[in-house]
Amino acid sequence: MTVLTNDPRAFADEALAGFAAAHAEEVRTVHGGVVRASATPPGQVAVVIGGGTGHYPAFAGWVGPGFAHGAACGQVFASPSASQICSVARAADNGGGVILGFGNYAGDTLHFGRAAEQLRAEGMDVRTLAVTDDIASGQADNTAPRRGIAGDFSVLKILGAAAEAGLGIDAAVRAGRRANAATRSLGLAFGGCTLPGADRPLFTVPAGRMSIGLGIHGEPGIAALPLPTADRAADLLVDRILVERAVAAAGVAGSDRVALLLNGLGGTKYEELYVVYRRVAERLAGEGLTVVAPVVGEQITSLGMAGLSLTVTFLDEELEALWTAPAATPAFRRGAVAPRPPRTDDLTTTHRMPPVVPGGPVSRALGARLAEALLTVRDTVVAHEARLGDLDAVAGDGDHGIGMRRGAEAAAAAAREAVALGAGAGTVLAHAGAAWSERAGGTSGALWGAALTSFGAVLGDHDGSTVGGGGAAGRDSRTGGRDAADGAQLTRAVRAAVDAVLRIGGARPGDKTLVDAAVPFADRLEAALPTVGFAAAWAQAARAAGEAAEATAMIAARLGRARTHGVRGVGSPDPGAISFALIVAALTPGTPDSPDSPESSEEKH
């Protein structure tokens, strides 16, 4: 388990700071991650990779000539935010365009996708490459939904070498995608990992057993078998990967030559890995396969998880040349790379938040009420953090409670700062949304960030388009006039927020996600508003959200990290749906914790 921490909430930031200090001649810090300390030739394609903390050497340890130009680093087991990715990409770009490389997880796909859209809007040529090598998380004839695990190393190494070789962005991304199509991985776990500050592992493996097909974020495997000998573990890995040999090698000439990574996940060390590799090499040779420049060691870990994985990439002539090309990074070196001059530009200035738009008096008053509401959100999430983490650990990685707390705390702080600067309601929520996305990362960070921003966009910053300054949350729209208009506008804002979640996340009711509670909430609010008024309608909607969230216990997940373990989650409700229901219940007008309740005050926060 992770023993040496200070404040567990600062673990990722402190780990990155220590890494950068230890490798100051090789990397420089920027907002959201690190970039090469050496200069990059003008016009060279920049490869920017990234993912959550807890996987070192991935991803910061792979930054250097012949590999990546920069790495965006998220919180523990959470994707970096879109703003972090944009910051690193801007610092890494040298005029040749940027390729964003990442493992195929919902949060990473959302944040890297949003970052690509933002950078393209700024005029940058940006492509994305999601690694999908894990054979345990999807069918052989449909690899698109598969996760990226240790194959991240092999695919991104080849991608970085393509950029280093001077290929243009089209050719480089083609090489990376061909490498991904030819790469297959499978992992085994002998014990779970423990998040910094947690008192127990995300999952356990009974003595004398092993888990097959684990993820790299503490997700449990898809099956368990008796613990084998080293040779039998090697045989299992080789056999299952070679079952897909024909699929992996389709269209790849010379596929009797393979790149190989035998990867330790953090708690299984080198001598054990070499014992396993001895048998792997024998088996592959017996199948007529030649291993080219094998890598044995820790390249993509899962904190201190006991386990290992095997990655095989079927090579053609071009992929082999890129696989064996020189590289010089803090964690991986191959061949000789000519010294590079240091970069001398200023990397200290970054743009993190939208500008503050001064609001009219009514909008500023509403912004202040919304900031109070976000304090209630924060307190609600903190109170239920442990439960949300436990729910997420059933079929996921157990970090939902931690991520929601980080996001809610950041959003509440950002909202208060915006209020102090005279922001209107729209800008208060835009700052809160950006902060939530930035600090939480992961899928929930992207979705809640987008939801808050979309909610605020409906309210705006000008009094002519903003609900009454007293905050309509406690008013009754049956009285007509401004109160009715206020309730209608807040309801439109709710619908805009839910629509943003649907659009960005791609989930639909029945997928076992936040959407299963959010859609019934918006539907009931709209249906009840005309007859019972906003406060009563919100209360009805909150009850509907709670019932829908609990009903997800009977659904097998179809999206997100829990998808791979969908059946395992039956009987347990979705943590995202539960957190949504808890929040809207706490914000119900007239409840003790609601900003509209007489019992609610700034002092209690």
**Does residue 217 carry a catalytic annotation?**
yes
CA dihedral sign of residues 442, 447, 453, 456: negative
181-215 b/e with 16+ CB inside 10 Å = b? bbbbbbbbbbbbbbbbebeebbbebeeeebbbbbb
**Structure tokens belonging to residue 540:** 């009805």
Q: Which amino acid belongs to residue 199?
A: D
Query: Which residues make beta-bridge pairs with 262?
Result: 296, 310
Report the 3 state secondary structure along 430-465: HHHHHHHHHHHCHHHHHHHHHHHHHHHHHHCCCHHH
Catalytic residue among 111, 217, 384, 400: 217
CA distance 461 to 465: 8
113-134 b/e with 16+ CB inside 10 Å = b? bbbbebbeeeebbbbbbbbbbb
Largest Cα–Cα distance of the chain, in whole Å? Answer: 82
Least Cα distance to 172 among 159, 189, 183 occurs for 159
> Tokens 């089209």 identify what position?
170
Least Cα distance to 550 among 520, 589, 592 occurs for 520
Distances (CA, A) of 579 to 383, 457, 506, 549: 11, 23, 19, 9
CA distance 498 to 514: 10
The SS3 of residue 508 is coil
Question: What long-range pairs does 18-22 form, CB within 8 A, spacing at least 24?
Answer: 19/56, 19/60, 19/61, 19/330, 20/60, 22/330
Report the 3 state secondary structure along 515-571: HHHHHHHHHHHHHHHHHHCHHHHHHHHHHHHHHHHHHHHHCCCCCCHHHHHCHHHCC
CA distance 124 to 344: 22
CA distance 544 to 537: 10
Residue 527: partners with Cβ closer than 8 Å, 6 or more residues away: none
Cα R_g (the chain), whole angstroms: 25
Least Cα distance to 131 among 150, 113, 104 occurs for 104
End-to-end CA distance of the chain: 33
Please provide the DSSP assignment of 240-283 as one string: HHHHTHHHHHTT-TTTTEEEEEEEE-BSS-HHHHHHHHHHHHHH
CA distance 506 to 518: 13
- How are strands ordered across the β-sheet holding 209-212? 223-226, 209-212, 183-191, 306-314, 257-264, 290-297
> Tokens 């090469």 identify what position?
36
Check: CB of residue 456 under 8 Å from CB of residue 428: yes
CA distance 380 to 583: 6
| Residues noted as catalytic | 217
